[in-house]
Amino acid sequence: MIESPALRPEAVEAVPPPEPAIPAGQLFAIRWLVYLSLFALALGGLYGLFQALQRLGMNVYPSLPIAGEYYQGLTIHGVMLALVFTFAFSNGLLSLTTIRGFERPLASTLLAQLAFWSILLGVVLASVPILAGNATVLFTFYPPLQAHPLFYLGLVLAVLSTWLTSLNQLLTLRAWRRDHPGERIPLMAFTSIVTYVMWDIASVGVAIEVVVLLLPWSLGLVPNTDPELARTLFWFTGHPIVYFWLLPAYVSWYTMIPRQVGGRTFSDPLTRLVFLLFLLLSIPVGLHHQFTESAVAPSMKAYQGLLTFGVFFPSIVTAFSVMASLEGAGRARGGEGLLGWIPRLPWSDPSVAAQLLAMLVFMLGGVTGLINSSYTVNLLVHNTAFIPGHFHLTVGTAVALSVIGIAYWLVPYLSGHRLWGRQLALVQAWLWAIGVLLFARGQIAGGLTSMPRRTAMATATYLDLVPSWGFDNVLTGLGGVIMVVSGVLFFLVVLGTLCGWAGRGTTELPAAASEVRPGVWPVVDRLGGWTVATLVLIALSYGPVFLSLLPPSLNSPGFRVW
């Protein structure tokens, strides 16, 4: 159907350049960042199981030896999955893709190692008060809920780890540019670096919130804080963080999956454009998370709501481009007719199957996200169960199931062992997709009838007043349990692979060929200029918001309500 150089069968034969040797110290850091992220996935998922069981009427919390309170478990679930799992995996994978893209090691082995040790220390420090019951503040830690200072310090170290990773990427870019004057930045490295530049700017909000407002307050140096200012700083970071979760999956979908399915990246310039749009538009849209807060003027909300529609655009281009890559590959494999290329894709490769399913589920995630950001429609769903319904389709599946799919080549690649349990892995991918659809169906239906999010629904005193919530909870619980069963299969496969049950073997890092066109849109590679443009957009969008909240109204003492 579609005619493009990327879709001609003969183009598929293009061979990517050879893989560079990676210094042992850098490989160590990457390997353990990935393993740490998988550990966080397991621990966070475990508490997901307890939540799901509670919705099904089985309360296991009293029998837990540690962290046996619902919201304490929910804090573990959120911190481990939304922060540790995602940060550690991004740091590991996008360091590796920087190396692969530039065909040279990272500029600094020390920085790579520091990135690992700082997030590890951060996880340990934050875990102590969480497990001791001194930080049951959920992963959003909205003041005036006040956690133990170690909790905030741990978060600072986790964010620091991402900055160290970014700095290392940028130093590597500088060294590469010195050796390759006038050349285009290789696509895989470009996408990896832009992801982190976006995050560097985005994370300044939460960094100021924690370092300037919350840490001194939790240490008792300042008696009161400003919850609204803190919250606005949080959401300055809190929306773009979803793209920081998502873009590593996009790096895989754009620059790796095409190779895995026997095709090539559809369009090099369009891929760069998509990542640039995410750099520009991810951040100045965070207010749609604060639509129901009276402190912010509706006009500012409307403006940022409009920009949120803009950030929907690169996702649509992605849906097209990634699909076009897949179609080209499916046709090269003999697929014919309108949809005949779909079954020709290598669905028997668990790494591919998991990521294809993640993409399919993400379509629903994108649509529900558009609902959330739609100014007045948001009133129907704001802070209801609809929201976790939405983000388990996005971060919980588009990201998590993609990470799992990536792990199916990455764990063999890092361990030097062959993938064990391919059939199990295939079952795993399908179970996850089925599970999350049931889960989201329950949460979304509940949310549309005002079921609150992040609430121990099984023990809610108003549960009997809304009979329909009983069935919604069953769907949510059942879906959650299926996702956990899927997770158990995943960790069996990881364990079998790490233990070498399928023997030793080398695994390729799938780098898709794409047609780098030196003369096309060279301005896209001017990262400095785009960063300045991003800062200007942010100033226009957030300047009036912060001006209206300054000077801070420090009038809230800390509360420990658990």
Partner 1 sequence: MQIHVYERITMGLTAVILVLALIAIGGSVFIAGLRLPGPVMHVDPRRLRETPPFDVPGLREVGAGQYQAIMIAQTWSFTPAEIQVPAGATVTFRVATADVTHGFVIQGTDANLTLIPGHVAEATARFPTPGTYLIVCHEYCGIGHQTMFARVIVQ
CA distances from 536 to 163, 285, 289, 526, 540 (A): 22, 14, 21, 16, 6
* 18 versus 461: smaller Cβ distance to partner 1: 461
CB of 160 to partner 1, least distance (A): 27
Token duo for residue 92? 């590991």
Q: Which stretch binds partner 1 (CB under 8 A): 238-246, 312-320, 345-353, 538-546?
A: 312-320
Element (H, E) at 426: helix 422-448
Work out whether 546 is an interface residue with partner 1 (CB under 8 A).
no
CB atoms within 10 A of CB 137: 27
By CB under 8 A, the residues from 164 to 223 that bind partner 1 are none
- Least separation in angstroms between residue 448's CB and partner 1 is 10
d(CA 500, CA 420): 8
How many CA atoms are closer than 13 Å to the CA of 77, on its beta-carbon side?
Answer: 21
Question: Alpha helix (H) ranges present in 400-519?
Answer: 400-415, 422-448, 468-498
Binding partner 1 by CB under 8 A: which of 207, 380, 516, 527? 380
Nearer to partner 1, 2 or 539 (CB): 2
Asked if 129 and 141 count as a contact pair (C-beta separation under 8 A), the reply is no
Catalytic residue positions?
239, 243, 390-392, 453-454
Q: Which one of the spans 154-162, 250-258, 277-285, 452-460 is the region binding partner 1 (CB under 8 A)?
A: 452-460
Structure tokens at 36: 């740490």
Q: Under the criterion CB under 8 A, does residue 142 sit at the interface with partner 1?
A: yes
- Asked if residue 531 binds partner 1 (CB under 8 A), the reply is no
Cβ-contact 508, 256 below 8 angstroms: no
The rounded distance, in Å, linking the Cα atoms of 331 and 320 is 16
Minimum gap (Å) between residue 289 Cβ and partner 1: 10
Show the binding pattern over residues 215-254: x = contacts partner 1 (CB under 8 A), - = does not.
Answer: -----------xxx--x-----------------------
Does residue 521 touch partner 1 according to CB under 8 A? yes
Interface residue with partner 1 among 15, 179, 220, 462 (CB under 8 A) is 462
Cα 461 to Cα 74: distance, rounded to the nearest angstrom: 19
Site map (CB under 8 A) of partner 1, residues 15-54, x = contact: ----------------------------------------
Residue from the set 18, 461, 503, 518 that interacts with partner 1 by CB under 8 A: 461
267 binds partner 1 (CB under 8 A): yes
3-state secondary structure at position 225: strand
Q: How far apart are CA 394 and CA 417, in angstroms?
A: 31
Pick from 39, 430, 491, 562 the residue near partner 1 by CB under 8 A: 562
Q: How far apart are CA 21 and CA 33, in angstroms?
A: 19
Could you tell me the smallest distance in angstroms from the CB atom of residue 518 to partner 1? 12
